[in-house]
Amino acid sequence: MDTTKICKVCFEPIQLNSFHNLTNNLCICYSCIKQMNPIFKSFEIDKVKALAIYHYNDYLKKLIFQYKGCLDYELKDIFITPYINELKILYKNYYMLVVPSSKEKIKERGFNHCLEMFKPLGLKTIEPIEKIKDEKQSDKTYLERLKVKENLILVDKEIIKNKKILIVDDICTTGSTLKAVINLLKEADVKKMKILVIAKRDFTKKELKQLEDPSFVLN
- Rounded to an integer, what distance in angstroms lies between the CA atom of residue 106 and that of residue 36? 26
CB of 33 to Zn ion, least distance (A): 8
Is the Cβ of residue 9 or residue 198 nearer to Zn ion in the bound state?
A: 9
Is the Cβ of residue 10 or residue 155 nearer to Zn ion in the bound state?
A: 10
Is the Cβ of residue 53 or residue 63 nearer to Zn ion in the bound state?
A: 63
Q: With CB under 5 A as the contact rule, which of the stretches 23-31, 56-64, 159-167, 207-215 interacts with Zn ion?
A: 23-31
Give, for 36, the enclosing helix (H) or strand (E): helix 30-36
Q: With CB under 5 A as the contact rule, which of the stretches 2-10, 51-59, 68-76, 97-105 interacts with Zn ion?
A: 2-10
Give the torsion sign (CA, 16, 21, 23, 24): negative
Q: How many residues are present in the chain?
A: 219
Contact pick of 6, 10, 155, 208 for Zn ion (by CB under 5 A) = 10
Q: Among 61, 55, 28, which Cα is nearest to 41's?
A: 55
CB of 58 to Zn ion, least distance (A): 16
- Rounded to an integer, what distance in angstroms lies between the CA atom of residue 215 and that of residue 168? 29
Contact 55, 37 (CB under 8 A): yes
- Rounded to an integer, what distance in angstroms lies between the CA atom of residue 74 and that of residue 139? 27
If you ran DSSP here, which 8-state letter would residue 66 be given? I
Contact 123, 91 (CB under 8 A): yes
**Which string of x and - marks every residue 31-60 that binds Zn ion (by CB under 5 A)?**
-x----------------------------
Is the Cβ of residue 12 or residue 134 nearer to Zn ion in the bound state?
A: 12
The answer to whether residue 99 forms part of the interface with Zn ion (CB under 5 A) is no
If you ran DSSP here, which 8-state letter would residue 124 be given? P
The answer to whether residue 16 forms part of the interface with Zn ion (CB under 5 A) is no
Is the Cβ of residue 29 or residue 121 nearer to Zn ion in the bound state?
A: 29
CB of 196 to Zn ion, least distance (A): 23
Contact pick of 21, 26, 27, 29 for Zn ion (by CB under 5 A) = 29
Q: With CB under 5 A as the contact rule, which of the stretches 27-35, 85-93, 150-158, 181-189 interacts with Zn ion?
A: 27-35
List phi, psi (to 5°) of 181.
-65, -45
Binding site for Zn ion (CB under 5 A): 7, 9-10, 29, 32
